[in-house]
Structure 1
Amino acid sequence: MRAAMNLLLIVLLALNLRPMLTSIGPLLEPVRQSTGLGYQQAALLTALPVLCMGLVPLLQPWLRRWLSEHGGMLGGLMAIAAACLWRWQLDSAWALIASAVVAGLGVAVVQGMMPGLVNRWFPTRLATTMGLYSAALMSGGGLAAVLGPSLTAYTGHWQVGLGVWALPALLALLAWVALRPRQEAPTLGGASGGHWFGNRRAWLLALYFGLINGGYTSMVAWLPAYYLEHGGTAQGGGELVGLMTIFQVAGALGLPLLLRRLNDRRPGLWLALTIQLAGFLGLLLAPSAAMGLWVAMIGLGLGACFSLSLTLTLEHLRTPAEAGSLAAFVQGVGFIVTGIVPYITGWLRDVSGDFQASWTLLACTVLLMLLVTACFAPRGYAKAIARSDQPGVAPALS
């Protein structure tokens, strides 16, 4: 019974970590017309929350001195709900950008704790549970992308399509209060160690996580606009994001389950990256021929990459506390990188006049990550992540 309630909590929490990002793209044109946002300003609606997702976990070694896990979760969910309620009635570009920062801070706190929770609650089913967490996270994003335009069309106000996501945040808040385990909760992040700024493998894992997932934030930000440029509609753009999400969920759940007997995550990552690369090449070479197919392939690869890369990080260390600390660092640096990517791809769209340069950059990034994946042999985890004898301090770069 306890395990079932923990799984329910993981799903409810994860469902709230992407709607504030994915609800924007399908409604970008009415938002831009109403507020006067340019493409680069609109990129801030994705980039700033993702940057918050990066900066907050990096502060966890200091935050955990005064903020408990329970307090952090309550504050994070309240921030998400408050930002969405604010969006329900705002009408200016800068208020919209400010709401993105508030929501991003809330997501950052909740998301930073999730790998540690999964590792602590399900240590013997790590890969499968991380797949479920990733699938729920992506499902929430897909629902927001698909339902946002429908709610906007029904009510006549794009603010409703952005603000309604306060409701699942409030539901998750109530569920956390009622169902969370009552044993003494660890401090924020659940880690006993210090920071990882001096550890080379931690930096490699962080940059890998950031670049391997950079395609997600770019697709969420620009796929609906790309579809509009090819004669589609806002509703159709949202449905494309929904299609991508369906295959993300399939990738996040299916590939880890299929390869659950393997201790080596590299075959799964190579397969997921290859599928993702094929999808970006399809967008480059024949976008109109089978756009749905290319988007589905990108989604399948992205979903599997997110789940497997986080699992890869957690498996570098044996104790949940240390693994949670490392995962917080990897997500911190990684999401900063991931947040920068859509800003760069939006800038490339502005200067080139179309999205081909953006897709080219993402394809090259995936190709580079295919090569980097070779570094992550399981037999080398302990040596690569070895820390100094001083507790809580990562070894210095040399």
Structure 2
Amino acid sequence: MRVALNLLLMIVLAVNLRPILTSIGPLLGPMRASTGLGYQQAALLTALPVLCMGLIPLLQPWLRRWVSEHGGMLAGLSAIALACLWRLQLDSAWALVASAVLAGIGVAVVQGMMPGLVNRWFPTRLAGCMGLYSAALMSGGGLAAMLGPRVSEHFGHWQAGLGLWAIPAVLAILAWAVLRPRSPVPMLSSARSGHWFSSARAWLLALYFGLINGGYTSMVAWLPAFHLEHGGTAQGGGDLVGLMTLFQVCGALGLPLLLRGVTDRRPGLWLALGVQLAGFVGLLLAPTMATGLWVAMIGFGLGACFSLSLTLTLEHLKAPAEAGSLAAFVQGIGFIITGIVPYIAGWLRDMSGDFQASWTLLTVTVLAMLLVTARFTPRGYAAALARPAPDDRVAQVN
């Protein structure tokens, strides 16, 4: 019974972590017409929340001293709900940007804790449950992209398509308050109570996570605008994001299930990156010929990469508290990188006049990550994160 409740709670929490991003793109046209948003300002609506998702987890070692896990989760979910309610009343570009920052802080607090919770709640089913968490997270984003334009059309203003997502945030607050486990939260051991800034492997994992997920934020930010430029509609752009999300869910759930007996995560990551690469090449060479196919391939690759890269990070350490600390660092640095990528993609769009340069950037990024994946051999996990004891460091100096 406890496992089932934990699974339900994990899904309810995860669904709230992407609507603040994916609800923007399909409504970008009316938002720009109403507020005068430029492309680079619009990029901030995606980039700033993602940057918050990076900065807040890096502060966790300090935040844990003053804020409990329960208090942090309630504060994060409340920030998401308040930001969505605020968006119901917005009519200026900079107010939109401010609401994005508030929502991003809320998502960052919740998201920073989630891998550690999943690792603690499901230690023997980590890959499968991380896939389910990733699938729920992406499903929330896809629903927001598809329903946002419809809700806006029904109520006659775009704000409704953004404010709607206060409802699942409030439900998540209630679910956390009622369903959360009451067991004590384990503390980090003294050997792992510090930061990961001095670990080369932690930095490599963070760079890897950030770059392979930069394609997601870029597609969420710019796929609807790309579709509009080629004669599509706002609803059509939202549906494309929904299609991408459907295949993200397939990738996040299906590939870990297919490879459930394989402890080496590299074959799955190579396959996911290869499928993603084929999709970006398709967008470059034939952008209007089979757009749905390219988007589906990109979505499958992105979904599998997100799930497998987080699993890869958690599997570097055995103790749930230490693995959660490492995952917070990886997400912290990684999401800063992930937030910068769509801003650069938007700048390239402004400079070049179309999205070909943006898709080229993402293609090159995927190619680079295919090469980096070779570094993550399972037998090297412990050695890669080993910290020499003080006596060892003295011996090395002498």
In the superposition, the TM-score normalised over structure 1's length comes to 0.96
**8 Å contact 1:56–1:108 — kept in the other structure?**
yes
- Give the structure 2 partner of residue 370 of structure 1: 370
- Give the deviation of 1:184 after TM superposition: 2.4
- How many Å separate the matches in 2 of 1:167 and 1:186? 32
- Return closer, same or farther for 1:140/1:259 CA change in 2, 3 Å cut-off: same
> 1:158 aligned to 2:158?
yes
Which whole-Å CA distance do the structure 1 matches of 2:358 and 2:227 have between them?
14
Further displaced range: 379-388 or 32-41: 379-388
Distance 1:187 1:31 in 2: 45
Could you tell me how far 1:187 is from its partner in structure 2? 7.1
Q: How many residues align?
A: 391
Counterpart of 2:230?
230
Give the aligned residue type for 2:347. Answer: W
Q: Which residue of 2 aligns with 1:119?
A: 119
Partner of 2:201: 201
Match of 2:269 in 1: 269
Alignment of 1:169 with 2:178, yes or no, is no
Name 1:382's counterpart in structure 2: 382
Distance 2:383 2:283 in 1: 40
Q: Does 1:345 align with 2:348?
A: no
Find the aligned partners of 2:185 and 2:9 in 1 and give their Cα distance: 15
How much has 1:294 moved relative to structure 2? 0.1
CA contact (8 A) 1:280 1:359 kept: yes
- The alignment-based identity, stated in percent, is 81
Distance 1:187 1:314 in 2: 16
**Which digits, 9 at most, give the CA deviation of each residue in 1:54-76, with x for residues without a partner?**
00000111111111100000000
Structure 1, unaligned stretches of length 5 or more?
A: 391-398
Q: Using the alignment, how far apart are the partners of 1:217 and 1:82 within structure 2? A: 23
Task: Flag as ranges the 4+ runs of structure 1 deviating above 4 A.
Answer: none
- Counterpart in the other structure of 1:393: none
Q: For the Cα contact (< 8 Å) 2:187–2:321, is it kept in 1? A: no
Cα distance between partner residues in 2 of 1:137 and 1:386: 32
SS of alignment partner, residue 205 of structure 2: helix
1:384 Cα deviation (Å)?
Answer: 0.5
Mapping of residues 1-398 of structure 1, within 5 Å: 1-186=1-186, 193-389=193-389
The Cα offsets for residues 228-286 of structure 1, whole Å up to 9 and x where unpaired, read as 01110000000000000000000000000100100100000000000000000000000
TM-superposition CA deviations, 1:326-355 (whole Å, max 9, x none): 000000000000000000000000000000
Report the Cα distance in structure 1 between the residues aligned to 2:161 and 2:283, rounded to whole angstroms: 28
**Paired residue type of 1:89:** Q
1:371 counterpart letter in structure 2 = L
Q: Distance in 2 between matches of 1:147 and 1:200?
A: 43
Verify the 8 A CA contact 1:21 1:45 in the aligned structure 2: yes
User: What SS does the aligned partner of 1:280 have?
Assistant: helix
- Matched residue of 2:208: which SS? helix
- Distance in 1 between the 2:295 and 2:169 partners? 28
- The aligned counterpart of 1:395 is none
User: Which residue does the alignment assign to 2:395?
Assistant: none
| Structure 1 Cα separation of the partners of residues 61 and 201 of structure 2 | 18
RMSD: 1.6
**Are the aligned partners of 2:186 and 2:321 in contact in 1 as well (CA < 8 Å)?**
no
Residues 68 and 185 in structure 1, CA contact (< 8 A), matched pair in contact too? no
- The question of whether the paired residues in 2 share the 8 Å contact of 1:193 and 1:321 is answered with no
Separation (CA, whole Å) in 2 of partners of 1:55 and 1:186:
23
User: Is this contact kept in 2: 1:69–1:186, CA < 8 A?
Assistant: no
For 2:387 and 2:229, locate their aligned partners in 1 and report how far apart those are by CA, in whole Å.
51
Q: Is the 8 A contact 1:50 1:336 kept in 2?
A: yes
Deviation at 1:182, TM superposition (A): 1.1
| Partner Cα distance (2:220, 2:353) in 1 | 19
**Letter of the structure 1 residue corresponding to residue 103 of structure 2:** A
| Aligned-pair CA distance for 1:194 | 1.5
1:36-92 CA-partner distances (Å, limit 9, x unpaired): 010000000000000000000001111111111000000000000000000011111
**What secondary structure is seen at the aligned counterpart in 2 of 1:318?**
coil
In the TM superposition, residue 389 of structure 1 has moved relative to its aligned partner by: 2.8
Residue type at the aligned position of 2:368: L
Counterpart CA distance in 2 for 1:291 and 1:256 is 26
Residue matched to 2:394: none
- Distance in 2 (alpha carbons) for counterparts of 1:277 and 1:243: 17
Q: Quickly say closer, same or farther: Cα 1:185–1:379, change in 2 above 3 A.
A: closer
Contact persistence 2:54–2:331 (CA under 8 A) = yes
Q: Which amino acid aligns with 2:114?
A: M
Shift of 1:186: 5.0
The Cα shift of 1:193 comes to: 2.0
Deviations 1:144-164, CA, capped at 9 Å, x for gaps: 000000001111110000001
Do 1:313 and 1:327's aligned partners in 2 also have CA atoms closer than 8 Å? Answer: yes
Q: 1:187 to 1:12 in 2, by over 3 A?
A: farther
Residues 1:316 and 1:187: Cα distance change in structure 2 (over 3 Å) = closer
Instruction: Structure 2 unaligned segments of length 5 or more: list them.
Output: 391-398
